[in-house]
Amino acid sequence: MTVDVVIPTCKALGDIARLLYDVRSTMRSGGLVILTCLQASAAVNRNAALNASEADVVVMIDDDISNFPVAWDVTLANTLEAMPECVMVSARLMTPRNKPGLMLGHPPQLLEGQLWEVPSRELPTACIAIRRNELRFDEEFVGSGWEDTCYCAQLRQRYPDGKFIINSHVKVVHHNEMKNQGGDIFEKNKAHYISKWGPPR
């Protein structure tokens, strides 16, 4: 099993130097680290990252993640290998104050190392692992927001029995910068999602 870590970002390389150091010093899969650095939407950057990877497993992280535990990438990838029915596995996102952060699927307080299956079958894509596939993010979403919710809907459609798992052995801090979500972007993206999939879960 090969694993690449991809970082879709609209930031310049110099602005994510610390993130890149943290990723490379804690990852243990030995795969590529792929950055996009495109002045474009989150969906465009996510697709560019997916298109650049050729590994069996793609570990995707946002550019506002920190506090990676050692071998976090391998732990996420191994969850997919151990659970063929799992189509997406996420780290447990935490706030900078080390409290459980907001996540799609609304996970409860999890015990250390606990695996939790998300009943609504959706996860944020801030720190996930997926198997390489042909699905891509909808580039009609502008800025950021809702493109990950839509991607999860595509996964549910493609894999009706697929499971979405949170592996709380991997806890990372999500600073939740919510870049390019101001103005009417959030509502515009929400309306686009509803036009495709109906009201959100």
**pLDDT tens-digit series, residues 52-62:** 999 999 999 99
Instruction: Give the span between the Cα atoms of 128 and 146, in whole angstroms.
Output: 16
112 band by pLDDT with thresholds 50, 70 and 90: confident
Instruction: Give the range among 26-40, 154-168, 170-184 with minimum mean pLDDT.
Output: 170-184
User: How confident is the model over 68-93, as pLDDT tens digits?
Assistant: 999 999 999 999 999 999 999 999 99
Of all residues in the chain, the percent with pLDDT exceeding 90 is: 89
- What is the pLDDT, as a whole number, of residue 109? 80
CA Rg value for the chain: 16
Confidence of residue 181 (pLDDT cuts 50, 70, 90): confident
Name the domain count of the chain.
1
Tell me the pLDDT of the chain averaged across its residues: 95
Mapping DSSP to helix (H, G, I), strand (E, B) and coil, where does residue 45 land? Answer: helix
Contacts of 150 (CB under 8 A, 6+ apart): 137, 138, 141, 193, 196, 197
User: 34 lies in which domain range?
Assistant: 3-197
Mean pLDDT for the stretch of residues 32-50: 97
The alpha-helical segments, DSSP class H, found in the chain are 17-26, 42-52, 72-82, 147-158, 185-197
Q: What's 113's domain CATH number?
A: 3.90.550.10
